Chain A
Amino acid sequence: MIRTSKMILLSAVVLGKYSELITKQLLKLGQLDFISVKEMSPEISDSIKSINTEYSPSKLSDMRREVEGFILSAGLKLPEHVEIEKYNFDIEKIKNIETVIEEIEVSLENIRLKQKNNQRDILRLKEIQKQLEGSKENVSFLQIRSGFLEGTYEEILEQLRVYQCVALKTVDANQYIIINLKRDSEKIDEVLSNFNWSKVSQTNNDNITSINVKIDKHIDVLKINQTELVETLKNKIKSYESQLDEMWKTLNLSEKFFSMQGFFNKTDKTYIFSGWIPLRSKKIICDTILKTCNNDCYIEWTTADQATKAGIIPPVELETPKLLKPFEKVIVNYQTPEYGTLNPTYITAITFLIMFGMMFGDVGHGAVIAITGLIGLIVTKGKNSLMSLLIYCGISAMFFGVLFGSYFGWSWFPAVWFNYHGAVAGGHTSGPITSIMQILALTVWLGVGTICLGMIFYWYNCIVKKRWFNLITDKNGLAGATMYIAGVYCAYIYMTTNSFSNINWNIIAPFFAVPGVVFFVKLIIEAMHNNADGKFHFGEIPLIIMEWFIELLEVFSGFLANTLSFLRVAGLGIAHVSLMTAFFYMADMFGTSTVLNTIGYSAMIIIGNILVIGLEGLSAGIQTLRLHYYEFFGKFLIGGGTIYNPIKIK
């Protein structure tokens, strides 16, 4: 729990006849993060073969997404429960699915063609309408005529569809008004002659309005058609609902099944596979494999240390309780910790909430944030971890609100720790902190504490990874820490006595000098290490001195900046109080003497609270994240890990 989960590498050889059963069981357990046997043991790569299936996982994934597309576009829901034991992974089944997908595609293609034609008919009519508008301005490219045609309306329409032409039915069944662009006249004449066109009268611009109305009606009909076609399409897909459900389940499982089998290698009679599992799952995995194969298999375990020595890096699993998952996301978003190092989730949960709470301590505001998070969590069905984080932050703000005695900016109850409003805005104060300077000092101490904690974690990581050189010589190692503690002591003495003369330099000077020497020696050792002959070259001394000087400067300025950076915790807290105070002043200007004044007063208080919750909440969140990413994680979190990613059904 304190460190990333211990992993162990499983290598197994099973008889070919058990391969499907084993795959199903492993998929059900969802614990194995596979690695390539050929890459792990290149010496046996010639004697083992990969398993090739007719359907690759990517092809299956395409098919699954295609089915998913049908399901979602018909407004259906994706199936949820998948029972792997029931499934029989035969290629015929997948071939059959491919045929059904094609069949659905073909049946939909017909409808889509109708949709496309319908859309073009609408556009054509709209274009003709535009031309009719032009006719009113005597710039017409239209030819409008009326006459009789023999043949069905659909046949006529089908032949005219290729041109910008509209055939409108009149009261008489066989009489039509033909409107087309003059540029297509000859071609339209040809089409009309196929239907024995006989002209009856010349249509002139006087009945353009009535033609327009007819076209409008026609467009309305086409739009209804359009809606009907969408429904037809959906219904068509729905008619395959149960099949699609089954197809999706099969494809989803097959995709995972064949992905897993893709990591299997085979000899003539056996299958070999290898992958990482958390150490805690060793027994269950072992028992499952043995039981499935009737003890007829060979299992080998390799510890993470042995594997690392062989150049196989274990994946990282941060074993975090579900409740703390949002904080794990905060960490992984920064970097995945290196295998075997500290899992900072638990401590991050504490520091994150302390910092946020100190910046945003108010029971009412915290409650609003927590409720917002809760609503968000319900709306997103628990899928958005940011919402869980909001709930935590809200609760923390409420907790600190009680400590600071702040309830929507009012002091309804006395502060348990100290009155933040009183300390910032003056007036009633209580508790150990009564001024802004004390608040600033408090947050600087918070910074010192966090930085020291970060350095302790770094030492821990160095010890577990046996990086002794880094432990002693790094900026965050013992040398840097000694210098930092000495610096903090000097600053403390100066701040409390306003003079450096009270510092006993005979004692303190070595705390600066020894780390300084350590940094210098470190640079010499690094230079030797970087030289091809492994020796120290005296010509490099000026460069080393320069680097040493810069490093010292960086250590001093870096630690100073890191510590002072925590002043933002006070800054945000003070801003929070000041904004509320400002809104209270503004509200007081309205007063409560009349009903209107009371309304103005209440509105100002409500608007103020909304603004403070929105602006300050966002700022506090961002600043908390920033303090963790720059000042805390940067001290100890050694990244570069690969997240543990087992193949599982979900």
Chain B
Amino acid sequence: MSRLSQYSFISSNLKAKISKILSEDYIQKLVDAPNINAALLLLKDTDYEFLNPLYEQTADINSCEIALFEKDIDLHKDVIKKLSKVAKNFCETLTLKYEIDVLKQAIRLWFDRVVRGRDISKNTLYLYRETIVHKLPIDLIVNAENFSSVINCLKGHIYYKTLKDLNIEDIELNSIYIIEFALDKLYFTNLIEATNTLTSKDKKVALNYIASVIDIENLNRVVRLKHYYNFKNEKIKTNLLPGGNKITEKSKFLQGENEFNLFEFVQKEMPEYSPLITSTSTLLVLETIIKALKRRFVSKVLCGDPWTIGILFVYFIDKKEEIEKIITILNAKNYNLNYDRIKELV
């Protein structure tokens, strides 16, 4: 099957959908809306019109959030349906991200209940229980007595081996960070492996995409581990996901006992992004850089060969960003955050 016949339909289909993504002006209108009802009314003539009747009926922002999560997954499934066999397998692996997110959430609830002794009754109501790629025993995980039981519930699942090898004591005493890290690592390993089924052109684009995402994940980790836990470089290196391009354990700024500073890092390693730094807050700068990195990938793909898997990534990135913005705005409106704060978040 030629690349042209493989991607001609899906490429134009997705480009048409991309053109319908809410513009910055529209997002600004949502930010300007005086309350959540006004914001939802604005969404009436968009892809998100289902939110208005849902909120009207339930007045429950969490239900809207879960509906948006479902919409995001459906978008993936919808695209997968239109793909050829070759790209299908890779894109299904891409969808594992959502499954892993749900799994992490379930494990987090188990941890909160068993280790931290918290009441999780309200949170379990909004756990996504539908099958994304595999049927997960969500309730068994949440209600498990200890971590061994959590692992046992996952017997036969692709996550079993990864979690079985973890140090149980560490988890039950400290945090679930190592579980989340192991799951992320598994996801990216699977994703890289899945690129082998793609054509050489698609494989190149896909590996480029994965490396960009890993870079973003790693940058996020480096900043947060430094910012919140003051980790030493050696420890940070063990917490990096393999497969990145710019941010790897071999990166200069992680050698020796160099003090990591995001502002300096951007100036030295990504000078093209330094004009974007307008805030003094590390986390805001991090968000800005992450957005810019994603934008760069998107524009690179859009300027390049139109008959590759790249268009799928662009669509997923843009759509996810749009959904995230809507969730942020609706939540902010629901909790009456002030205008400047919402602007900052969006």
Partner of A163 from B59, B60, B121 at Cβ < 8 Å: B121
Contacting residue for A226 out of B57, B121, B125, B129, CB 8 A: B57
Interface bin, chain B: 20 to 34
Q: What residues of chain A lie closer than 8 Å to B38, measured between beta carbons?
A: 65-66, 68-69
Partner among B33, B58, B119, B139 whose Cβ is within 8 Å of the Cβ of A119: B58
Given A130-B139, A134-B139 in contact, is the A65-B60 Cβ separation under 8 Å?
no
Do the beta carbons of B125 and A65 come within 8 Å of each other?
Answer: no
CA gap between A124 and B122 in the complex, in Å? 9
Q: Which of A487-513 contact B (CB under 8 A)?
A: none
B35 nearest CB neighbor, chain A only = A66
Q: Are A115 and B41 within 8 A (Cβ)?
A: no
Among B113, B129, B143, chain A packs the most CB atoms within 10 A around the CB of B143
The proximity string for B residues 57-77 relative to A, scoring 1 for CB distances below 8 Å and 0 otherwise, is: 111100100000000000000
A115 touching B57 in the complex, CB below 8 Å, given contacts A123-B126, A131-B139, A183-B113: yes
Cβ–Cβ < 8 Å partners of A120 in chain B: 60, 122, 125
Chain B residues with CB below 8 A from A118, complex form: 58
* Residues of chain B contacted by A124 (CB below 8 angstroms): 125
Whose C-beta in chain A lies nearest to the C-beta of B53? Answer: A230
Residue A243, interface by CB 8 Å: no
- Majority secondary structure of chain B interface residues (helix, strand, loop or mixed): helix
Indicate if the CB atoms of A181 and B143 lie closer than 8 Å.
yes
B56 CB–A CB distance under 8 Å: yes
Chain A window 105-133, contacts with chain B (Cβ cutoff 8 Å), 1 for yes, 0 for no: 00000011101101110011001001100
* A contact residues around B63 at 8 Å (CB): 119, 123
Complex contact A69–B58 (CB within 8 A): no
User: Whole-angstrom distance between the alpha carbons of A124 and B38 in the complex?
Assistant: 29
Pick the contact of B37 from A63, A69, A115, A139 — CB < 8 Å? A69
Please judge, given known A-B contacts A66-B34, A69-B37, A226-B58, whether A139 and B140 are in contact too, CB under 8 Å. yes
> Interface residue count for A (Cβ, 8 Å)?
37
Task: Tell yes or no: B167 within 8 A of A by CB.
Answer: no
Bound: A435/B113 CA distance, A:
84
* Residues of the B chain whose Cβ atoms lie less than 8 Å from the Cβ of A162: 119, 121-122
Q: Which of A112, A141, A183 has the most CB of B within 10 A?
A: A183
Instruction: Please give the distance in Å from A115's CB to the nearest CB on chain B.
Output: 4
| B37 touching A73, Cβ below 8 Å | yes
Q: B41, A69: Cβ atoms under 8 Å?
A: yes
A141 touching B59, Cβ below 8 Å: no
The answer for the CA separation of A289 and B56 in the assembled complex, in Å, is: 48
Query: In whole angstroms, what is the CA distance A73 to B33 when docked?
Result: 15
A525 at the interface (CB under 8 A from B): no
Return the CB mask of A222-253 against B: 1 if under 8 Å, else 0: 00001100100100000000000000000000
What are 22 contact pairs spanning A and B, CB under 8 A? A62-B34, A66-B34, A68-B41, A69-B38, A73-B37, A73-B41, A73-B56, A112-B59, A119-B58, A120-B122, A120-B125, A127-B125, A130-B139, A139-B140, A162-B122, A163-B119, A181-B143, A184-B121, A187-B119, A226-B58, A227-B57, A230-B57
Give chain A's interface residues, CB within 8 Å of chain B: 62-63, 65-66, 68-70, 72-73, 111-113, 115-116, 118-120, 123-124, 127, 130-131, 134, 139, 141, 162-164, 181-184, 187, 226-227, 230, 233
Given contacts A182-B143, A183-B113, 17 further A-B contacts (CB under 8 A): A68-B38, A69-B41, A112-B59, A115-B57, A116-B58, A119-B60, A120-B60, A124-B125, A127-B124, A130-B139, A139-B140, A162-B122, A164-B121, A181-B143, A226-B58, A227-B57, A230-B56
